[in-house]
Amino acid sequence: MNITIKDKNFETLIEYCMIEKRTRLIGLEISIAYEQSVPVFLGVLNGSFMFMADLLKEISIPCETTFVKLASYHGDLQSSGTITEELGIAMDLQNRDVIIVEDIVDSGTTLAYLLKKVKALKPASVKIATLLQKPDALAVDLGEIDYVGFEISNEFVVGYGLDYDGLGRNLKDIYRLCEG
The catalytic residues are 106
d(CA 33, CA 35): 6
d(CA 50, CA 35): 24
d(CA 150, CA 71): 22
Which 8-state DSSP code applies to residue 165? T
Q: Which of 54, 6, 55 is nearest to 31 (CA)?
A: 55
- Measured in degrees and rounded to the nearest 5, phi and psi for residue 16 equal -55, -35
Please tell me whether residue 78 adopts helix, strand or coil conformation: coil
